[in-house]
Amino acid sequence: MDLHRNAAPRGLGFLGLVAFVLIEHSMGDAALIPLRIFKSRTIAIAISGSFVLGAGMFGGMLLIPQYLQVVHAATPTQSGFMMLPMVLGLMLASVLSGQLMSRTGRLKVFPIIGITLMVVALSLFSTVTADTPLWLVMVFMFLLGLGLGNSLQPLTLAVPAAVSPREIGMATSSATFFRKIGGTLGVAVFLSVLFDRLPGNIASAIQSATRDPAFLAALKDPQLLANPANAAFAKAVQSRDLSTVGNVMDNTSLLNQLAPVFSHPFKVGFSDSMDTVFLMGAAVCLVGLVVLWFLPNLELSNQSASARLAQERADGGQDASANPTRARRGITDDLSDMAAMEAAGHTLWELTDPDKEDIVEPTAGQGPGPRRAS
């Protein structure tokens, strides 16, 4: 029954994706994401890498504050402050990679280094247990931040460097869009895996704890049982009623009400579940590393987008002056000739492009043509 219920939204999602692609294809250059941009190897690889990077990045990052709150009993605010090492690593890597890219003009090496660091960091996070010291977790966070800083900025710059100045906005927004889509998919899949494995792992950890003499002694300790939360947990364990697991999953603040000896199996179960998800994140980032390995060796331009656009216009004007027979002729030019007298002798070509100096003079027999503005 669950399979049929889940098949409906999946089918609708697939149909929506197909409809989106067909509509974008039919719209051509007027589409939100013109499909022709994927003909560029650089854009296709950069967007694919951004998609995979978003899945691994967001899917992995969201687990860290969960781990800090469940295992290290941090509040949401405290867990945010505890993640400052990752932010520091991200800032340092972004600044350093940006400076090196501006000096060398090359950017392929930085996402390769960055996503490699992410694979290493997520693999190290998969070794974290309920007893791992916080300082070591923060070292892993810093390493993950270094990877993010070396990956995000270069991939953002790779797309504009491969397109015309007129298409920078469209291409950059497309790369960001696919990174967000990858992040959304990664969060959905990774958290689904986490909460699917969590009840079984917690139950296994509690069963393992019942073979520990210290845990069994705590179940009969009058001082610990004076706490209603400890008493309820001890009664549930002795009666083999593990429904309390679901209560703790719904409200992790209940862990703070339990004695450390009773809350430890919950932390072990959560850490074991989290390790699997971090390994999945490392595997996804490894796929991204393979994709980005084929990124062309781009060199950043030392001109701004407006300067590049002006250069293209200047080059186009020189080509037209060097070859008058290739002057622009079409409906616009015919309308310009027809409207010349109504525009006091100036054509629409001159009126819409007043700063164009190299205007091709009409040849004999063409009738009224474009004239140089006085």
pLDDT 10s digits, 208-232: 888 888 888 888 888 888 888 778 7
- For residue 275 the two structure tokens come to 């390790």
- Asked whether 115 and 288 are in contact (CB, 8 A), the reply is yes
State how far the Cα of 348 lies from the Cα of 31, in Å rounded to an integer.
Answer: 29
Evaluate the CA torsion angle 63, 64, 65, 71 in order and state its sign: positive
Chain centroid, CA 309 distance in Å: 29
121-150 tens-digit pLDDT: 999 999 998 889 999 999 999 999 999 888
- For residue 262 the two structure tokens come to 């009773």
State how far the Cα of 59 lies from the Cα of 234, in Å rounded to an integer.
Answer: 35
C-alpha gyration radius of the chain: 31
Residue listed under structure tokens 């009224």: 368
> CA distances (Å), 312 to each of 308, 349, 358, in order?
6, 18, 15
Q: Where is pLDDT greater, at 157 or 320?
A: 157
Residues ≥6 apart with Cβ < 8 Å to 157: 101, 107, 300
Q: How confident is the model at residue 235 (pLDDT cuts 50, 70, 90)?
A: confident
56-114 tens-digit pLDDT: 777 777 888 888 888 888 888 888 899 999 999 999 998 898 888 878 877 888 889 99
Q: Where is pLDDT greater, at 295 or 323?
A: 295
From first CA to last CA, the distance across the chain in angstroms is 80
Nearest to 268 by CA among 193, 189, 207: 207
Nearest to 71 by CA among 275, 237, 231, 220: 275
Q: What is the mean pLDDT of residues 143-167?
A: 80
Q: How confident is the model at residue 246 (pLDDT cuts 50, 70, 90)?
A: low
Q: Where is pLDDT greater, at 172 or 314?
A: 172
Greatest Cα pair distance, the chain, in angstroms, is 111
How much is the mean pLDDT over the chain? Answer: 75
In the chain, what percentage of residues exceed pLDDT 90?
A: 10
**Considering the entire predicted model, what is its pTM?**
0.72
Q: Where is pLDDT greater, at 261 or 164?
A: 261
State how far the Cα of 318 lies from the Cα of 130, in Å rounded to an integer.
Answer: 70
Q: Where is pLDDT greater, at 42 or 67?
A: 67
Give 193-199 contacts, CB < 8 A, sequence gap 24+.
Answer: 193/276, 193/277, 193/280, 194/63, 194/273, 194/274, 194/276, 194/277, 195/249, 197/272, 197/273, 197/276, 198/249, 198/269, 198/270, 198/273, 199/245, 199/246, 199/249
SS3 33: coil
CA dihedral 235, 194, 142, 295 (to 10 degrees): 170
For residue 216, give the H/E element and its range: helix 213-218
**Does the domain spanning 17-206+269-292 belong to CATH 1.20.1250.20?**
yes
174-186 tens-digit pLDDT: 788 888 888 888 8
**pLDDT of the residue at 310:** 64
269-300 tens-digit pLDDT: 888 888 888 988 888 888 888 888 888 776 66
For residue 209, give the H/E element and its range: helix 168-209
State how far the Cα of 15 lies from the Cα of 342, in Å rounded to an integer.
Answer: 54
Nearest to 113 by CA among 141, 93, 85: 93
Domain ranges for the chain, please list them.
17-206+269-292, 208-254, 306-374
State how far the Cα of 345 lies from the Cα of 341, in Å rounded to an integer.
Answer: 5
State how far the Cα of 70 lies from the Cα of 130, in Å rounded to an integer.
Answer: 9
Residue 344 pLDDT > 70: no
**pLDDT of the residue at 135:** 93
Nearest to 321 by CA among 372, 246, 251, 279: 372
In the chain, what percentage of residues exceed pLDDT 70?
A: 73
* DSSP-assigned beta bridge partners for residue 106: 299
